[in-house]
Chains A and B, each alone.
Chain A
Amino acid sequence: MNALGKALLGLHAWGGMIFGWLLVPIFVAGSIAVFEPEISHWMRPEVNSAPFSPSTATALGEARLREVGGAAPIWRLRLPNGREPSIGIAWGSNPRALKEETLDAASGWPLAPRKTEGGHFFTHFHAELLLESPGKWIVGAIGIVLLAALVSGILVHHRIFSDFFTFRPGATRRRAWLDVHNLVGVATLPFLLMITYTGVVILAEAFMPAATHALYDGKPRANRAEVVKSFERPARGEPAEMLPLTTHLAAAEEILGAGAVTMLTIRHAGDRNALVQAHRQVNDRLSAVADHVTFDAVTGELFGQQLDWNPMAYAYRAMVGLHVVRFGGAALHWLYFVSGLLGAAMMAAGIVLFLRKRRQRHGADRAQRVLEAMGIASVGGGLLACAALFWANRLIPATLAGREQVEIYVFFAVWALSLAHALWRGTAAWCEQFLLAGILCLLLPVLDLATGNGLRDAIRLAVDLTAVLLGGLLVVVALRFFGPARLPAGEVAP
């Protein structure tokens, strides 16, 4: 191997492993986040899913808003959809601190769902490790390292194209792991390049704000305001009767398409100058731009609309759209979910390969034990913590104050314990943590049945079934790839 090859191998192996410690959990969380609305629904078993219609939902939401938010100038009404079957209303005077309430989509009854981050936890963790700006810098930086690792990987594993379809689970474990790493890597390579590139581009504003500073005084909102037209006017101070929101909804659907409205925002509610803005869904287009129209709330006259965007907005929002996959329905959501998990599996296999090779060279010294524990905690521990979050969500009392924080503490506590466990148990922890995570997933339907308030619906059933499938897979991986038995002579586990 020439000098360049050695340098690339070093970059790929060390860079891949060290950054893999965070990349694997980020990929796992990102894959789960594809189903954020479904998971949020699963995690709020107080919310029923009943058949609904947009116009009835609008009328019900408006009735409740008049009751509780009559004096507030800002109203917001989120319409139910198939993935999030409840009405969300919000009201107040500060648009960033509105009071919120969830209503049953069929009856309009206010629900009191348990306080939880829901599926948003996974998105939040995936995008910024719950750390705001510093988290974005970290995630952006390791995204760039992942791009380097992918490209160097194509060069280092030069056999990937001659071994394109090769998977030999019956061969030695080293071969099997290498096959998993190469095969999954090459099969999902277009996806991995796309998702990493778009992820880095989305975060670019956070870690490269030079353009915003040069052009917009460092205010991203000024940039946004230039792209997203806003149709606003000051309140006049005279009260006036607004037309029913269903009238505005019908008018908005004329322009945006039937059933395409996701949200209504009312400004200066009850004033002569009140405005109603309707936002269009983005889930039928690649570029995630939300067209919107605004009406005079009192007369119903069209006040403004934005149905096309400047080319840069389309280009940038296409990056966002490609990354967050609101489009394409269940088929694309599942492809992203599976591809993301496969990407995590590819990286996990890389970590396993690195650790095996190093152990053969250096034996089980102290550094090896630490590297091994970090690898186990990042892969097995990350999965275990995700599974534990679902359990915490249902087992922490629904009325406990601050319970949404407690759920997150449980996630990180389990993760920290998995590191301690890995330091204590050494390589045996691979099998034990995968097995435990698998069992927690397999038993999730039982938990759902026991704590689901008797509400069963297609969304929760789908989450349960997915958990069972993944749990089965984890158990198989634990026993087949990490298990202690059936080692041919001269083999080391795992």
Chain B
Amino acid sequence: MMQFVWLACALCLIVFGMGALALGMARHYQQVFGTPAPAGSARRWRLAGSGALALALLCCTVGWGVAIGIVLWVGLLAVGVLVSALALAGRR
């Protein structure tokens, strides 16, 4: 049961992290907020995104053990990329 709590945490962190990494790209920032990205914002979004992904790895390894946790994390990364891309696809 606890495993699924960790899984849910990791999934949220990864979706947030991948979303943040996307906002760290000028084109997607413009897509989402409608204005060009202010100076320095890309760096902050990328930092936040990487931090969230790292935290998610921690969640996976704590809940699922190191070996299986890493496999789980890599699998969830794909989910994060696709969720972010599909969320952005609806916007011009």
Contacts and interface: CB of A to CB of B under 8 A. Distances in A.
Contacts of A26: none
Nearest to A325: B71
B78 A332 contact: no
A331 B4 CA distance: 9
13 contacts: A162-B25, A165-B85, A166-B88, A167-B86, A183-B85, A190-B78, A328-B64, A328-B68, A328-B72, A329-B3, A331-B4, A335-B76, A339-B75
A213 to B, nearest CB: 33
B60 to A, nearest CB: 10
Given A328-B64, A328-B72, A332-B72, A167 B85 contact: yes
A473 B41 CA distance: 37
Contacts of A166: 85, 88
B81 A187 contact: yes
Contact of B81 (A164, A287, A329): A164
A412 interface: no
Contacts of B72: 328, 331-332, 335
Interface in A304-324: 318, 322
Nearest to B80: A187
Q: How large is the interface on A (under 10, 10 to 19, 20 to 34, 35 or more residues)?
A: 20 to 34
Nearest to B22: A165
Contact of A169 (B25, B28, B89): B89
B74 interface: yes
A336 interface: yes
Given A169-B89, A322-B71, A187 B28 contact: no
B71 A286 contact: yes
A168 B89 contact: yes
B53 to A, nearest CB: 13
Nearest to A332: B72
Closest 5 CB pairs of A and B: A335-B75, A187-B81, A286-B67, A167-B89, A165-B22
A187 B71 contact: no
Given A331-B7, A335-B72, A190 B85 contact: no
A188 B85 CA distance: 13
Contacts of A165: 18, 21-22, 25, 28, 81, 84-85, 88
Contact of A190 (B74, B86, B88): B74
Nearest to A190: B74
A184 interface: yes
A273 B28 CA distance: 73
A336 B81 CA distance: 16
Contacts of B76: 335
B62 interface: no
A191 interface: yes
